[in-house]
Amino acid sequence: MHTDDVIRALEERLWAAQLAADVATLDELIADDLLFAGPTGELATKAQDLEQHRSGALKITKLVPVDYRLREIPGGAITSVLMDSAAIVQGQPVSGLLRYTRVWIQENGRWHIAGGHLSMLR
């Protein structure tokens, strides 16, 4: 299987886990030393991300990819996804177009997200 097929399948698995608040799958897909910048530039850790899903502080209700791009790099890949999304954050509904950029790397035979960034487009 080609890297682009593998990563696309992993992205789809990630989206399903986010929608289901499947913390076990998210734990598997996210590197322990994740570097992820949110829309205001703050860095979030894996533990913070998992806790948002576990506690219900973040409930993602819609993820519809509008544009998906992948670039292979040595040892991994970078994805950029324009996502039509909706969520309930701290009890407040929010929706809009988001651009996710993720860095996927393969270590010890396992793929996971090492870094990423999220921008709100509208």
CA dihedral 66, 54, 41, 33 (to 10 degrees): -100
Q: What is the pLDDT of residues 27-84, one digit of tens each?
A: 999 999 999 999 889 999 999 999 999 999 999 999 999 999 999 999 999 999 999 9
The pTM of this model reads 0.93
Q: Domains for the chain: give ranges and CATH numbers.
A: 3-120 (3.10.450.50)
Q: Which residues, other chains included, contact 20 with Cβ-Cβ below 8 Å and sequence gap of 6+?
A: none
> pLDDT band at residue 122, thresholds of 50, 70 and 90?
confident
pLDDT of res. 39:
86
The Cα 110–Cα 95 span in angstroms is 32
Across the chain, mean pLDDT equals 95
pLDDT of res. 40:
87
| Over residues 87-116, mean pLDDT | 95
pLDDT of res. 59:
96
